[in-house]
Amino acid sequence: MDHDSGQLSIDLTIGFAVFMIGFIFVVTLMGGLLVGLQSKTIDYDAVAYRTSVILVEDPGEPRVNLYAVNPDPLDLSWEQIDDPVQITRLGLLYSKEHPGVLSGEKIKRFFTPGEFTNEEYKDKLLLSEPGQYPYHFHINLSGYPNAGNTWIVEDTNPPASTGYMKRAVLIKGYSMPITLDNPVEYVNVTLPLSGIQSDRGGLYGIYPRFEPIEIFIDASRLGPALLPIDLTDVFLTPPDDYSFVYEEKVPVRIDGASTSDDSYTMSVNEVNDTIHLRFEPGYFSGYSIEDVVLHFQFAPPIPPFDDLDETYVPPPLTIATLEVSIW
Amino acid sequence: MVGEEAQLYTIEGFAAAILIVVTAYLILNSTFILTPGDTHINDLQLEQLGNDVLRMMDTKNSFDSTAPNRYLQTQSYLEQWLSSNDPKLGFDPFVTQFQGYAGDSRLKLDAFMYYWDHGANRMGSYSLSPTIHSTSHEHYVTITKYVYLDNPGWDDPLGVSRTVLLEVQLWRD
């Protein structure tokens, strides 16, 4: 009997030791199994995805409803507000009725250097309190306004490994190119302010209250024999009476020269290359709803020549790629 | 007598302990390996890009003011392609355009169209790719888009417009 109880206690000791070794083995192993769940890359990819959703699928805040029946003339979209404090969120979507189409104006404001500080980008994009989530970001948009162009916003250079999201988008631009192939005295551009929204719908029309109208005249094709040409006047008239000239100054830039907003006075100007004309959003708010015709008058060339008549239409939607890196 | 019993208990103890350890290991291992988390993020990337591209293809780039009605004025590439009489012929241009929109020429595609067959009163499907791509299908993602079609040339007693489901299988080669 004595021997039996002695044997049992040895069995128990060995069994317990084996169990403990096994238990320690399993506990050690579990730590290793959980390592995969601690990975930071998943988190950064999710933040990059969230940021891309804010940029591509959201029109930002404040925003305007393009299809409002009685729009409040004081409503402004965020890209028209100068003070960043009044902007809540930076979304690039043109309108929530048209998913996947970004606004060229919002892109211009968002990517222009100096418009926002890095802290403002973080507050209004990553939805974080200042300093709370110190994410770094690098956002680039390639393919707009032309295929080789890239816009970049970043706070520092990205490291080799970041959270990443790529989105393919369409962009609604506002710039209509006109090429001068032959000498002219007048280029008449009809701006169909009354009809173009209702006829075409938001995506293909223009909303002069919220969107600019841009016209590029490329004169360089005329060749060195005819250049420079003298631009003598730019003015606006109603469509039915070209002699009734509206008083407003017309915002013209010649050969890429920079100009401040109040220096639109026209005199005789030599044009070697391009004429760039941009009506800011709301420029035509005093014109009620009717069409206007924009006239470019040049010094009369040697006959024979024909005047060039055009109607403003927004350019086709541009294909572009937006990439977001977060780390 | 005494010695034999002792041997048996020890062996049983060992066997039971190993059994418990192996079982615990297998259970824990299988449970946790099921949620690696990393691979489906890559798929999400491709899936989102594919959805973006299909949405772009279902938006017309510019207004066609010469077309006779509103549907044709804003008819998208997908609408035009799928309502043509033989969409199989348009598959290769579709792939090229898809790669251009996505900015990635390594993307490969298969496409199917699902529609309601009024005559047979059941769902029908139609393979849009002219050749069967049987390889490299392991890690594909599936993206779908409903497309509204309207072709006055169709001879159908129930009307000339219908909605079809375009299903695209997308993978990187």
Tens-digit pLDDT profile for residues A88-139:
888 899 888 888 899 888 898 888 888 888 888 888 886 666 666 778 889 9
Query: Among B144, B148, B129, which Cα is nearest to B79's?
Result: B148
Nearby residues of B173 by Cβ (< 8 Å), 6 or more positions away: B106, B107, B108, B136
Mean pLDDT, chain B, integer: 79
pLDDT at A162 over 60: yes
d(CA B82, CA B90): 9
pLDDT attached to residue B3: 54
Partner-chain residue, chosen from A11, A45, A316, that has the shortest CB–CB distance to B61: A316
pLDDT attached to residue A207: 79
pLDDT attached to residue A262: 46
Q: Cβ A36–B14 below 8 Å, yes or no? A: no
d(CA A62, CA A87): 6
| Alpha-carbon distance B170 to nearest alpha carbon in chain A (angstroms) | 15
| Alpha-carbon distance A314 to nearest alpha carbon in chain B (angstroms) | 9
pLDDT attached to residue B54: 92
pLDDT attached to residue A280: 81
Q: Cβ B52–A26 below 8 Å, yes or no? A: no
Partner-chain residue, chosen from B17, B52, B101, that has the shortest CB–CB distance to A15: B17
Copy the structure tokens of residue B121.
């009163």
Nearby residues of B135 by Cβ (< 8 Å), 6 or more positions away: none
| Amino acid making up residue B133 | H
Lowest mean pLDDT among A50-54, A301-305, B88-92: A301-305
8 Å CB contact between B7 and A10: no
Chains A–B, number of C-beta pairs less than 8 Å apart: 114
Task: Specify the residue for token string 């599936």.
Answer: B142
Q: Cβ A36–B32 below 8 Å, yes or no? A: yes
d(CA B69, CA A15): 86
Q: In this predicted model, what pLDDT tens digit does every residue of A10-46 receive, in sequence order?
A: 888 888 899 999 888 888 777 766 665 655 545 788 8
Cβ neighbour number for residue B44 with a 10 Å cutoff: 15
pLDDT at A200 over 80: no
pLDDT attached to residue B170: 86
Is the CB of B24 inside 8 Å of chain A's CB atoms? yes
Partner-chain residue, chosen from B32, B41, B100, that has the shortest CB–CB distance to A33: B32
d(CA B43, CA A184): 57
Alpha-helical runs (H) found in chain B: 2-33, 39-57, 70-73, 77-82, 91-102
Q: pLDDT higher for A18 or A183? A: A18
pLDDT attached to residue A260: 47
Helix H or strand E segment including A233? strand A229-237
d(CA B113, CA B119): 17
Mean pLDDT score, A230-252: 80
Cut 0.90: pTM above it: no
> Taking the domains of chain B in order of start, what are their residue ranges?
1-31, 40-172
Which of the residues A19, A44, A52, A204 would you substitute to probe the B interface, choosing the one with the greatest number of B C-beta atoms within 10 Å? A204
Q: Cβ A3–B48 below 8 Å, yes or no? A: no
CA dihedral A35, A36, A37, A39 (to 10 degrees): 100
How far is Cα of residue B106 from the mean position of the Cα atoms in its chain?
17
B33: phi then psi, degrees, rounded to nearest 5: -70, -20
Copy the structure tokens of residue A200.
């075409």
Q: pLDDT higher for A32 or B37? A: A32
Mean pLDDT score, B48-70: 86
Mean pLDDT score, A293-320: 83
Q: Cβ A165–B45 below 8 Å, yes or no? A: yes
Is the CB of B16 inside 8 Å of chain A's CB atoms? yes
Mean pLDDT score, B124-152: 77
Please list every residue in chain A whose beta carbon sits closer than 8 Å to the beta carbon of residue B61.
170, 316-317
- Which residues share a beta bridge with B165? B114, B146
Eight-class DSSP state of A112? S
Q: Cβ B9–A7 below 8 Å, yes or no? A: yes
Task: Specify the residue for token string 């010469």.
Answer: B66
Q: Cβ A317–B62 below 8 Å, yes or no? A: yes
| Alpha-carbon distance A15 to nearest alpha carbon in chain B (angstroms) | 5
55-114 in B: which are within 8 Å (CB) of A?
55-56, 59, 61-63, 65, 73-74, 100-103
| Alpha-carbon distance B157 to nearest alpha carbon in chain A (angstroms) | 31
pLDDT at A268 over 80: no
